[in-house]
Amino acid sequence: MVRVKKISEVLGKPSYTDAGDYVGEVEEVNLVENKIDGWRIRVSGGMSGLLGGVRGIIVPHQFVKSIGDVFIISKTALPVREEVEIPQGTIETE
């Protein structure tokens, strides 16, 4: 049987990726035409460094795996911080 949760019950829940990494807490829900479009998650300090210093992320609802005692999202929903490699000799120095 599917148990329906109220949005107010979900706000403040701890959020984890499906790989088990703690992301932060659910802060707000985005509604479009009375349907859930996405979730705003306040990123914890440790995860913030991995995501480029962001304070929060918006996770589209289709990336939510489960909502229960904790909020579980797909790891692919997290923005990837790309490392830019600069080839030798391309930066001019004076």
pLDDT tens digits along 53-67: 788 889 999 999 999
pLDDT at residue 84 in the model: 47
Q: Which fold, 7-77?
A: SH3 type barrels. (2.30.30)
- Count Cβ neighbours within 10 Å for each residue of 35-53 and write b for 16 or more, e otherwise: eeebbebbbeeebbeebee
86 pLDDT more than 60: no
**60 touches 2 (CB < 8 A):** no
For the chain, domain boundaries: 7-77
pLDDT digits (tens, 9 = 90+) for 23-62: 999 999 999 998 999 999 998 877 767 777 788 889 999 9
At a CB cut-off of 8 Å and minimum separation 6, what does 10 contact? 26, 29, 67, 71
Question: In this structure, what DSSP letter does residue 18 have?
Answer: T
